[in-house]
Structure 1
Amino acid sequence: MSVSAYPWRSVFVWIALLALTWLALFSPFTAGWNGSCAALVLLAVSASIVIATRRMWARRASTQHVLRSIDAALASLPADIKRNTPLVLTVGEPGSVLSRVFDKNAVIVTDAAIWVRHDDPSKLMHLADALKRWRGGQGPDAVAWLMTSDDPASAVTLQATLKRWRVAINEAGRAVGYRLPVCIALYATETRDRSLDCPWFGVSASVQLDPHSTAEQLSVLLGAFAERAVPEDRRPRALTAIQLDALARWAFEAVLPPLVETQRGMQALTLNAFGVTAVAGPVVPDSLYGQFVATTTALDLPAAAGITQRYPLPIPLIRGIAPQPVRRALPVALAHAFVWFAVWFCAAAAASAWQNRALVSGVLAHMARYEAIPPAQDAARVDALAAVKRDRDDLEQYASAGVPPRLGLGLYRGAPLLPVVNRLIAGYQPPAPAPSTIELDSMSLFDSGSPKLKSGSNRALIGALEMIKAHPDKRILIAGHTDSVGSRGGNLALSEARASAVRDWLADASGLSVTRFAIQGYGDTRPKASNDGEAGRAANRRVEITLVPDCRADRGDGFTHGQPACS
């Protein structure tokens, strides 16, 4: 995946829109928590866009001069050559090797490839990505790493160089979205008084090379090169073949293992081509290669000055590497956008399922709570029924106005609950109203003219006692009545004394405080029937027990003995 060609900012905006939509429509959390998360999302996306934009500008600025050089070099060629001709990043240490290949040019165009010079490992990934954008999604086809036999001055320097370029090439591969094929090209210098016309000896393929088999193939090629020489050139050719064979063996022992072997924290390079050639130039006997030759062969590498020729490009080695296909960033970005949408949909579905489960559990819990309360506790039943009615209102709103997104996505489970809730609400029956008054015959409670309860009167008071216990929130008014026989004052006192006797018995039997009772004596002032006959006088001799609302909040200290009850 290309770094700068990839639409990072558009992807960041897409992710932010998905996150904000989820928070607004599907989140099961509180509004405050959702607002905080939305602010964090906006802050993170804004910072990411700023960072991506600044990095993109920095990369383009660092590679602009190279792209201008390429455009200038290809100005006279057909416009489509940049895609039809392989492009090779040619890298090496700053100094002799690249300057002797490119002279002062940044780009060389040959029939085989477009060769782009680069000697800064830290910016290789930026150049590779810029070239991919310049070619319309087709990145570099290979990396040609040029080395001379005299480059490494010490083993420590060699290892540091190899590690630096290995990391740089791997980073460039990640920047363009694929592993870059690598070609290692080594030049052996010989002290000559004329330029050498030495071919490249090497192996290249579209797949990764095996170092062991590559070494064997090189030995065969170099042996054939020495044998085909005419008599007068046999000795120089043999000497060149021996030097190149020594250079190849030194490379397979000291150069290639750190590059192609997997090491901790570093990915191995993909070696698709390796080759050696000889050029005329100064020899450094104390180089690592010179030391290797001195210890493994009997050759003497003279350090005398000679002609220095321009180094040839490893064109034959590149021909075996397959060109890279076009890899555009837009399809990859669209695929990533779809993946993020799939993640968003899964998160939305999970949130909807969780909230549907919470809805069903809440409604069922409210229904179970209502059904568990016995009818005698009507106040608690009314409170529980109010919660069920609120659930009914929500379910009816969802049925008429539509299911909200947080419960939607085909996961809504509230519709089957609505008829069940309606039946439960319709089945509520308020408790039967309490009897307002129980009337007791005075003759069954008292002897004639006596205010004392007679034995056996408790059987007549049991009904009143059960009514009082069934309504502990009510106060009790006890009123006594007499017939018209006797004086009015005496009847009034007798009726109040009888009410007081009933009050005392009920308070003792129920365990209630006497302050919950009120008594009233009416005497003969409220007859039910005419006192002219015995039947009428019997009906008027009575005690009435009435339940009334508790009006202590209105009367301050409540009822007191002998005072009228609140109405």
Structure 2
Amino acid sequence: MRDAYRSPLTALGAVLALWLILGFWPLFTGSRVALSLLVVLVSGVMLWRQRRASQTRVTAVRDIVDENLPPEDFQGAVILVCSDNNPLFVPGSRHRKTRQGWYLWVKDAEQLPLFAQHLSLVRPALLSQISVMLAVVPELHTSGEDFTQCMRGWQRAVVQCRAAFGTIPPLWTVTWISPPVACTDAEPVWFTTVSQRSGIQVYQSAQGNVSLAEWTRETRSDGRLSRLSQGLWLDSLLAWQNSAVNDLLSVQRGELPVMKPCVQGMCMVPVSGIAGNLWQQHITSVTALPPDAVVTTEPLPLPELLLPALPRRRGVSRRMVCWGYAGLLGGIFLALAMLASWMNNQRLIRNVGDHLALYHQLTGKPVAPKLRAQQRLRADGALLDDWQRRGEPLRYRLGLYQGLRLGPIVEAAVSDWAPPPPPPPVIKKIIQGPKTIRLDSMSLFDSGKSALKAGSTKMLVNYLVGVKAKPGWLIVVSGHTDNTGSQQINQPLSLKRAEAVRNWMRDTGDVPESCFAVQGYGDSRPAAPNDTPEGRALNRRVEISLVPQADACRIPGNTHASSQDDDVLKNETE
């Protein structure tokens, strides 16, 4: 991944990861928070390291000026000129542009991998057009051992370019030597080897490419020097080239692989050399006569004729690479999001299915478990209906939502059973001994109220028709509540309810108020334990008792009733 777009892609990956964790993946809240913090921490560290690496790279390649680089839409070959490259460039210049190629000057072997990395970052579309040219000028060297070490350093640097390019870039060599003295005024002659089958080809601007044998048979028009002398000069160059360069590249040494140049070129052109250079040493060893030194200020000719033979493949622009990685991240996110959505929907199906299975297993006897299971299904149905109207959550979407088919199933299950209707409200009358009637407060009053409900008077008429006001009997009306609420509320409420019943009896039966005694006990006298709904229902009551009391309830014109009158209560069972 290239540094130029590594940071935005890291940020994009962090955003997608957070979206996946918070919006899709089925996790508990604590796990989501922990993973979100981990993603933020990791992405922050990666961005910091990328920034540090970018700053280090910029410092390392400060000698590389982007104005010297070819534009990203350049269609020709891009050549990294290494080794003896100074004679190929005008002093102060770091590149040469031709119709077919763009030649870039590389400072030294240490800079070559950094240069390759820089190009891969700022000109990724040109990677397929890049090759490495080893420029060999033996007349610039005097020590064979130093030359060998220099070649090995460049060979190692070319191998290190694999980290930036993904593969070892094409390598080719070009050698420049001064021609024989008699030919110094002639035009440059190129000897090229593109493939072993075609052999050595000779190029001159006047005749173009011809084979070496054909070129050797020809004689110069001026007749002063045959090309045989140049051929002998070429044989010496080939011998030196094979021993000093080709054999070095073709032998594997440790981590350095065998590197066979894809193209080789040799040019006979005047070269400004130094005294006692390698070429003079080689010619002296062969002929015992050192060649004369040549002085020239012109840059060496570029190997334009070799560029069409270089391997080429289609490149990918930086924008295309960036979009490719973004598409890859988006594809991974979509796959994981769909997986999470599928898992969420399966969990929804499993939960609703468990509720349905439990609901269908219960027979309804007793009613409470079946009713609780039905209430859970009602809650499931309400949730699914709400999602259908307002849209399901994002974690269930991506075309995998299953709630639409679950809704009718839940609705049908809820509708196929109903709890038995509750018994009609009745006044529960429990006879305590022969003289007490117990009335259910909830049948007479609303919750927390002391006014008789509409319709309760009919019940009172039916159940209290046997209560007669007799002289010598006191009608005691007492109110009771359960333990729900405080005593400060329950006691006054029970008293007011007893007074309401007393007032109704007084007004309806034309019974003097002196016949009544009203009491409110609150929850102090429970008839049953208050820890069950049934017990609390029994405790919410109004009791009516006839208590014999001398001189009680004297009605003018009535005779004194016997204290043994047993027909004052009409005992009824439920």
Deviation, 1:122, is 3.6
> Quick one: structure 1 residues 398 and 301, their matched pair in 2 at CA, closer, same or farther if it must change by over 3 Å?
farther
Deviation, 1:349, is 1.3
Deviation, 1:106, is 3.5
Matching of residues 164-563 of structure 1 within 5 Å: 164-174=156-166, 180-188=169-177, 195=184, 198-203=188-193, 210=195, 212-213=196-197, 215=199, 221-230=211-220, 232-234=224-226, 236-250=229-243, 253-257=246-250, 272-278=262-268, 281=273, 299-300=286-287, 306-307=293-294, 312-320=300-308, 327-430=316-419, 551=529
> Quick one: structure 1 residues 16 and 185, their matched pair in 2 at CA, closer, same or farther if it must change by over 3 Å?
same
CA distance in 1, matches of 2:303, 2:37: 57
Deviation, 1:165, is 2.9
Amino acid at match of 1:44: V
- Asked if structure 1 preserves the Cα contact closer than 8 Å seen for 2:341 and 2:398, the reply is yes
Deviation, 1:319, is 4.1
Q: What SS does the corresponding residue of 1:320 show, helix, strand or coil?
A: helix
> Quick one: structure 1 residues 143 and 39, their matched pair in 2 at CA, closer, same or farther if it must change by over 3 Å?
same
> Quick one: structure 1 residues 404 and 110, their matched pair in 2 at CA, closer, same or farther if it must change by over 3 Å?
closer
Match of 2:81 in 1: 91
Deviation, 1:373, is 3.4
Amino acid at match of 1:246: A
> Quick one: structure 1 residues 172 and 382, their matched pair in 2 at CA, closer, same or farther if it must change by over 3 Å?
closer
> Quick one: structure 1 residues 218 and 244, their matched pair in 2 at CA, closer, same or farther if it must change by over 3 Å?
farther
Matching of residues 16-95 of structure 1 within 5 Å: 16-67=14-65, 70=68, 86=76, 88-93=78-83
Q: What SS does the corresponding residue of 1:49 show, helix, strand or coil?
A: helix
1:107 pairs with 2:94: yes
CA distance in 2, matches of 1:102, 1:87: 17
Amino acid at match of 2:318: A
Deviation, 1:144, is 2.3
- Asked if structure 2 preserves the Cα contact closer than 8 Å seen for 1:282 and 1:308, the reply is no
> Quick one: structure 1 residues 257 and 378, their matched pair in 2 at CA, closer, same or farther if it must change by over 3 Å?
farther
CA distance in 2, matches of 1:158, 1:42: 47
CA distance in 1, matches of 2:6, 2:59: 18
Would you tell me which structure has more helix in proportion to its own residues? 1
Amino acid at match of 1:45: S
The one of 84, 98, 104 aligned to 1:116: 104
- Asked if structure 1 preserves the Cα contact closer than 8 Å seen for 2:190 and 2:202, the reply is no
Deviation, 1:35, is 1.6
Deviation, 1:243, is 1.3
TM-score, structure 1 normalization: 0.58
> Quick one: structure 1 residues 374 and 413, their matched pair in 2 at CA, closer, same or farther if it must change by over 3 Å?
same
- Asked if structure 2 preserves the Cα contact closer than 8 Å seen for 1:285 and 1:302, the reply is no
Q: What whole-Å deviation, never above 9, does each CA across 1:194-220 have from its counterpart, x for those lacking one? A: 95755221145xxxxx4x336555798
CA distance in 1, matches of 2:258, 2:373: 71
CA distance in 2, matches of 1:98, 1:56: 28
- Asked if structure 2 preserves the Cα contact closer than 8 Å seen for 1:395 and 1:414, the reply is yes
CA distance in 1, matches of 2:108, 2:18: 43
Amino acid at match of 2:230: R
Q: What SS does the corresponding residue of 2:403 show, helix, strand or coil?
A: coil
- Asked if structure 2 preserves the Cα contact closer than 8 Å seen for 1:273 and 1:317, the reply is no
Q: What whole-Å deviation, never above 9, does each CA across 1:47-81 have from its counterpart, x for those lacking one? A: 3333333333443444454327849xxxxxxxx99
Amino acid at match of 2:162: N
Deviation, 1:27, is 1.3
Amino acid at match of 1:11: L
**Structure 2 gap ranges (5+):** 204-209, 424-526, 533-574
CA distance in 2, matches of 1:214, 1:406: 66
Amino acid at match of 2:378: K
Deviation, 1:407, is 0.9
CA distance in 2, matches of 1:84, 1:179: 21
- Asked if structure 2 preserves the Cα contact closer than 8 Å seen for 1:183 and 1:317, the reply is no
Deviation, 1:84, is 6.1
Match of 1:160 in 2: 152
Sequence identity of aligned pairs in percent?
17
TM-score, structure 2 normalization: 0.58
> Quick one: structure 1 residues 300 and 386, their matched pair in 2 at CA, closer, same or farther if it must change by over 3 Å?
farther
> Quick one: structure 1 residues 415 and 120, their matched pair in 2 at CA, closer, same or farther if it must change by over 3 Å?
same
CA distance in 2, matches of 1:128, 1:394: 60
> Quick one: structure 1 residues 358 and 368, their matched pair in 2 at CA, closer, same or farther if it must change by over 3 Å?
same
CA distance in 2, matches of 1:49, 1:61: 18
Deviation, 1:360, is 0.8
CA distance in 1, matches of 2:121, 2:264: 28
**Structure 1 gap ranges (5+):** 72-79, 205-209, 435-548, 555-567
Q: What SS does the corresponding residue of 1:47 show, helix, strand or coil?
A: helix
- Asked if structure 2 preserves the Cα contact closer than 8 Å seen for 1:101 and 1:312, the reply is yes
Q: What whole-Å deviation, never above 9, does each CA across 1:208-233 have from its counterpart, x for those lacking one? A: xx4x3365557984444443345653
